[in-house]
Amino acid sequence: MAYLLVGLLLFLGVHSLRIFADGWRTQQVARIGPLPWKGLVSVLSLAGFALLVWGWGMARQTPVVLWQPPVGMRHAASLLTLLAFVLLAAAYVPGNAIKARFHHPMVLGVKTWALAHLLSNGSVAHVVLFGSFLAWGVLLFIASRRRDRREATVYAPGRLAPTLVTVVVGVAAWAVFAFKLHGMWIGVRPFGGAM
pLDDT in tens, 59-94: 988 889 999 999 889 889 999 999 999 999 999 999
In sequence order, the β-bridge partners of residue 65 are 123
Distance CA 117, CA 154 (A): 33
Q: Are residues 147 and 181 in the same domain?
A: yes
Find the domain containing 160 and state its range: 64-195
Q: Are residues 87 and 33 in the same domain?
A: no
Q: 29, 62, 95 — which closes off a domain? A: 62
Q: Specify burial of residue 73 (Cβ count, 10 A radius: 0-12, 13-18, 19+).
A: middle
Q: Are residues 136 and 179 in the same domain?
A: yes
194 has a pLDDT exceeding 60: no
Q: Are residues 102 and 186 in the same domain?
A: yes
Q: Are residues 83 and 164 in the same domain?
A: yes
Q: Are residues 135 and 47 in the same domain?
A: no
pLDDT digits (tens, 9 = 90+) for 113-144: 999 999 999 999 999 999 999 999 999 999 99
Structural domains counted in the chain: 2
Q: 23, 38, 62 — which closes off a domain? A: 62
Given a contact cutoff of 8 angstroms between Cβ atoms, the answer to whether 48 and 8 are in contact is yes
Q: Are residues 75 and 45 in the same domain?
A: no
Q: Are residues 136 and 51 in the same domain?
A: no
**CA separation (Å) from 7 to 1, 39, 117, 133?**
10, 18, 19, 12
Q: Are residues 70 and 56 in the same domain?
A: no
pTM summary value: 0.88
Q: Specify burial of residue 76 (Cβ count, 10 A radius: 0-12, 13-18, 19+).
A: middle
CB atoms within 10 A of CB 6: 16
Q: Are residues 55 and 68 in the same domain?
A: no
193 has a pLDDT exceeding 80: no
CB atoms within 10 A of CB 123: 17
Q: Are residues 112 and 129 in the same domain?
A: yes
| CA within 13 Å, CB half, 160 | 0
Q: Are residues 86 and 176 in the same domain?
A: yes
